[in-house]
Amino acid sequence: MDEGTPVVQRRRKYLDDDGVIALSTSWLPGEMAEAAAELISTGPLPKMTFGLIEDRTGRRAIKRPDVVSVRPVPEDVAQLLEVEAGTLRADHCQPLLGPARTGDGVRPRLHGR
């Protein structure tokens, strides 16, 4: 996406029975909110993010690279994770939603950051 393009950011925190935390952040084109207004709410979605997008737009993410690294928790995330800023954490990033297919053979692309 070009700089300045409107985007939707969804950030969710997951806890398991042992208290292990995962923070998931999705960056989606702002136009996705026109088809699925729930994307801009702070509450839970009726289904997983990409399933909701597929239901509403007919677009399906079929491939996305994942990047895993260890880095310090930034200040804006530390409060969400209830840890001190600078604490090392594993970072799992899904920066791009690749080619998607629709029933008519068109291959639109959904891009995230």
What digits encode the pLDDT tens for the residues 19-49? Answer: 767 777 888 888 889 999 999 888 888 888 8
Q: What's the domain count of the chain? A: 1
The answer to whether residue 110 is domain-embedded is no
Q: What is the pLDDT of residue 92?
A: 61
- Interatomic CA distance for residues 25 and 45, integer angstroms: 14
The answer to whether residue 35 is domain-embedded is yes
Show the domain range for 45.
Answer: 7-93
The residue among 56, 53, 4, 55 whose CA lies nearest residue 28 is 53
| Lowest mean pLDDT, pick from 4-8, 73-77, 106-110 | 106-110
Q: What is the pLDDT of residue 85?
A: 92
Task: Record the pTM.
Answer: 0.63
The answer to whether residue 105 is domain-embedded is no
